[in-house]
Structure 1
Amino acid sequence: MTKMPYQCSVCNEVHHDWPAIAFNSPHYYHILSQEDKDKLATLSEDWCIIDYGDQTDRFIRAILRLPVIDTDQTLEYGVWVSVSEKNFVHYMDNFNEDIEGTTFFGYLCNQISEYDNTLSLKTNVVCGSKGQRPEVFPHKDQDNAFVHDCIYGITQEEADKRVHVLLN
């Protein structure tokens, strides 16, 4: 591995593994004006709600692991998925409980820069053990380069390149 050490912006520790490529918010929050963010939206580290009045969108933060070919490593993305009101309420009601294995449908709500279009890809969201963010798995029946890479992986060289861009 050609992983380079980096100082984590969260814990200030120096790490020698790949950092997660994380999004601070769902795309649909990010594109709101500051006025609309203040008026319509609530954002935390783990969830987001945008209430347009006639429609409410609900998002949760999750992890998507992209396999790296010929290694036992993954490149992690911290992504947001939109979920139904029913699933959002269940997730929030059980946020501090162990609901490992609970699975529900969601749409990916971030644009991964290396791909043409990752917004609104269909996914399964699988809850982890207590205190862990859920993991996202794109549905395999979608004709999309990102979905292909989620199934078959990317090269170590490509993973290093993505991390290098992130760190610089």
Structure 2
Amino acid sequence: MTATCAICGATHEEDELELSYGRPDAIFEMGNDERSLDVYESDDACVIDDERFFLRATLPLPVQGRKDDYHIGVWVEVSEEQFHRVGDLWDDPEQAAEPPMSATLANEIRSHEGSLGERVLMQLTGPTTRPQVFIVDSQLPLGHEQRAGITTHRASTYSAGLG
């Protein structure tokens, strides 16, 4: 089956669609006036009040029987220093050599209650790809899925907004 993207108008196979969060949850908790005054936001980075710093990343989940991972598009909160370091490395083709950075998930992942604020490691991957994040606590269900992999059916429940 196929689906038509509401943004670009392109047709995609349903198994190509992945769950993605448009902004950090903290942004959606703000009123429109506060958001327009206190937030810098783009599709890659957000800053609230020059105090909270967020970056867009992907959380890869291996899919059993497929060579490509399923990616959940997430936001992570990082320190100001890390935020500026990523900015310094933004176009650097060697950025993947940078050590992983500690961060926290800035989205509550559907069906993973309590995932907001979970500790992750963020690894830069290259100037044309988003950083990847890895759940630190492998005992969490999401951490287990990331390490053990998920079924194609589970990937489709994420994409359908049921996961």
Same structural fold, with TM-score higher than 0.5 when normalized by the shorter chain: yes
- For 2:68 and 2:92, how far apart are their aligned partners in 1? 28
1:64 aligns with 2:59: yes
Partner of 1:38: 36
- For 1:78 and 1:101, how far apart are their aligned partners in 2? 22
1:18 aligns with 2:16: yes
Partner of 1:147: 143
- Aligned-pair distance for 1:42? 1.0
Q: Which residue identity is paired with 2:144?
A: H
- Aligned-pair distance for 1:12? 2.6
**Secondary structure of 1:100's match?**
helix
Return the match for 1:7 from 1, 4, 9.
Answer: 4
Matched positions, count: 159
Q: Which residue identity is paired with 2:155?
A: A
- For 1:51 and 1:142, how far apart are their aligned partners in 2? 33
Q: Deviation per CA, 1:14-53, whole angstroms, max 9, x where unpaired?
A: 222421211110011111111211121111010000017x
- Aligned-pair distance for 1:87? 0.9
- Aligned-pair distance for 1:160? 1.8
Change (3 A) 1:59 1:5: same
1:101 aligns with 2:88: no
- Is this contact kept in 1: 2:105–2:115, CA < 8 A? yes
- Aligned-pair distance for 1:142? 5.2
1:50 aligns with 2:48: yes
Partner of 2:153: 157
- Is this contact kept in 1: 2:62–2:69, CA < 8 A? yes
Between the two proteins, what is the percent identity of the paired residues? 26
- CA-based RMSD of the aligned residues comes to 1.8
